[in-house]
Structure 1
């Protein structure tokens, strides 16, 4: 089915449903209102009949007569109004005493009374009545007084309204269908032309373009289609971009190998050139083994992160304090060689992170702080609880970053001081990769820096819920 017909049929169906539901609600509302008014009138009429009966019965008693069935009939018959008003009187045993219509008393309705007034709406043979029943006691005798009111006209009026509304709805629906048929054909005409243009491009005519008319969504779509066609002719740009992505990966991979390898070389050099205690030798060898395993895992994860564009890794529950202690031990030989002091502090908590990648993030931040610091300076790594979050921060007291540069420093290959970064074997990829890892954890890097005073970099991670016992 063509799109124009889908638009046409769906619109007509919606209009038909709106007409049907709206008509039903409207007519029902009028009917309910009219029925409520008739109910109020029937209740008022019954109350008036009750007061009139009590007045007539009291007159009989004042004349010294007893309130017999005959007296009750005489009292009520004067209220009959020539037979135009339906009245039924029953005694306390629900036995009919008088009926202006000849119908039997509604015993069930009388039994439903609880000292007040009840009514019932019923109908048969196309006639509808509302019957109201109440009880009254005069001279020690209780009787039940039923009055009925003909409300057939209300139901007939409702049926007439439904018929009239149905007829008009059909007429309006046909007119709406005709209008929507024309509108749907007009709206989908650009899509027909677009389909023809697409077939020409598929046949090899890459110079053909759609003509843009107006400023609506169809015009925007036409512009996008033309832009897509232009992109097809620029295949060489796509090939160059692919080559650039491969170069970026190689540079990022080499950058991330550098810091762990530096730690391994530093500890290996200590084992080779210094006389160390067995405990220190074991600790150094353990760092070499740990970082070697991390290099192995990091290599695979960097491949997935940079080449396969995978954005989900398995996260684990860890204590940030343990992670920061591991990083302190990892960075110790690097800080000693640079003549810097690394100070750490962390509160105990539980967070959900990918340990190897998050360690890479923090190591990159510390390495950037090292490059910006002078020998003898202090670098701080700390973690603290902030509400529902846990905040990791790295602070240095180095050169600082100009405010206009902060927005650019997470771009790949961007370096604030290019000559200094290259002298320290920097490639401008550490913060770019750190920012990507932060986004993978649902966070971002937050920078605060003052030129000449230093830089503070923080990342917020939502704390994990306590594990159920």
Structure 2
């Protein structure tokens, strides 16, 4: 059962109980009040009749020492009419509780008469074939005789009003329940709307639509739940995208690795087979051996780079204070105009950085090496070190082929090369910048690339300065 239906049914049950109990109490309260008023009037009327009977007895001629039964019946007949449009219902009994006079239509039994005692008054509510009556009984002292006067007062209207009250209230309750059902249907639908939207969102996400979000329609607890759900969905979508990117990257890596491995192995196997199956002259043998050696060295360099990337990904390094000038002295020894055929210019400020010196040297060596591969012989390469307010910036600028803007985000992927033919001709495997990115990641830094095709590139990074 849906929660909206549960809420609707619960509300209707509570409303029905509340309206039923309150209606029963209200109608009965009005009935009891009216009935009490009628009983009071019947008791007062009985007292008035008793007084009138006693007064009438005083006018009896003095020749009677004891009130005769005929006189009692005569007085009772006068009391029945009493100047009213309708006759009263009375009954008079003697000392032995034998009936002396009874009005037509007086249907009450003698139970109250048998219970009455001198100087007492009794009443009860009785039901007859004509309706409901208040039956009263009182003792009268008349000329030495004890007589008993009974009256019946019609109170059927009170009971009719109670039945009508229950009927009207029942109709009103049904109408209010129907109206309440309609209103609560809309209220429950409004209150449970966030839950329905969340359910829809979970189904959409379960179906693979991770970009779908539940719409927040309130600012209460359910609204906060929707907000938290969307935050969870954002985190989930981000994690899924990362997993998909990692999976895609792994597939690209395996494809590129297989391709890069296949190229040198094909050359090595081909030239080795030529040396094995053909008798070559010395020049061709040396040329074949040189090809095998060159491709073997490229495989060796690629394996070392892959190993370095794996080590760098672990990120377990100890950073220490290092002089920037020490790093630049190392680069000057590594890259000279004579051994690379380039024009190297070193421009740096003195400063102390926080780094793992050997890893940072690896990064800079790779950047300078890539600049050499991307440039023609004799080109100018500038290596800079600049002190900033919050760090120390390294830059390597060249006048090479440049990197298209759409390719700049991909160059840190393993085996990715902007110009593959140029890189392979210079023993490149597309792993240098991937290694640099991993090393800088554990230094809480990243590569910044400024490049324009045909005009060169400027690649740098910033480290913390002491």
Please report the TM-score for the alignment, with normalisation by the length of structure 2: 0.46
